[in-house]
Amino acid sequence: MLSTLTVVLPIFALILAGWLTRRIGLLSAHATTELNRFVVYLALPALLFDVMAHTHWDEIWQPGFIAVFGLSSLAVFGLTIWARRRRPLADAAIDGLNAGYANTGFMGFPLALVALGREALAPTTIAAIMTVCVVFAAAIVLIEIGLQRRARRRDLALTVAGSLIRNPLLVAPFLGALVPAAGLTLPLPAETFLKLLGGAASPCALVGLGLFLAQKREAPEGDRAVTALLVGLKLVVHPVLAWLLARFVFDLPPLLLHTAVLMAALPTGTGPFMLAEFYRREAGITARVVLASTILSVLTVSGYLAAIR
């Protein structure tokens, strides 16, 4: 549990920093939106571009692991959308992301290193890429379709495609993937720029989450039940499904199996919150899911690590 706490405490500290600065009036209510726009348009695209530009597929090609983590994430994502099908598609997609978007970037790497060793870093990289470039991208597509549903059917595809082409969170990883595909390397100044800008993505998103949580609002009783459902899907259903697939379907070796389950057991990352704010959807449930799943993951992740040892 101590190793899990060591990784989780900085996350709480950043959320608390945002909460305090809003409560004492250092930052206004508009800071959440502006900080989130910085993350979506600058910091996170830089991070995604940097990750893809340094990804060499021949080194991390693990089809079994990709299938286990990808299928488990997309299955939980799809199951949640079906369970929340009475909501508008854009809101249901964000709920799906709440349940299927693991915090692989901020928590995955340090936890994998401490718990499983350096050999787990390559599959952890795969999990991070799958999370931000597959699950995240699927949610963006569904949100765009949901927001454009009033358009005529023959225009819907063009409208959605145009929105996706202009979305920096999809364009950046695509352009980054072209770098290794073309056999190129980034010059040192470009790498430094991307590392500095991309490094601000997670801290700014967590501070923005704290700013949002500091705004006084009453949570309807139904929202609490939904929050509990989404947290349960993320912390219980997602890792259990990953374990079943890894153990009985793809028969992964122990290191890949435990890495897949550990990544699936991570709490909800800040991606759903960023999308909810960016598309101006209700972010209250998302903020509570991120916070609650992060707190409870100290117990669930520590329990799993104790079990496999």
Tell me which of 303 and 256 has the higher pLDDT.
Answer: 256
Residues 61-109: tens digit of each pLDDT: 789 999 999 999 999 999 999 999 888 899 999 999 999 999 887 778 7
List residues bridging with 102 in a β-sheet: 268
Mean pLDDT of the chain: 84
Ranges assigned E (strand) in 63-137: none
Structural domain total, the chain: 1
Residue 145 Rama label (left phi>0; alpha psi -120 to 50; beta) = alpha
pLDDT tens profile 222-271: 678 899 999 999 999 999 999 999 999 999 999 999 999 999 999 898 78
Tell me the CATH number at 36: 1.20.1530.20
Task: Give the closest residue to 78 by CA, choosing from 99, 51, 109.
Answer: 99
How distant, in Å, are the alpha carbons of 11, 25, 82, 221 from that of 213?
14, 14, 28, 17
Residue type, 23: R
The domain in which residue 110 lies consists of 2-308
SS3 268: strand
pLDDT of residue 156: 60
45 vs 41: CA distance, rounded Å: 7
Inter-CA distances, 223 with 89, 246, 279, Å: 18, 33, 20
| pLDDT above 60 for 153 | no
The residue whose two tokens read 């100044």 is: 189
CA–CA separation, 87 and 80 (whole Å) = 11
pLDDT of 188-221, one tens digit each? Answer: 999 999 999 988 887 887 888 788 778 766 666 5
User: What is the band of 54 on the pLDDT scale with cuts at 50, 70, 90?
Assistant: confident
In this structure, what token pair is assigned to residue 160?
């959605």
- pLDDT top residue among 66 and 29: 66
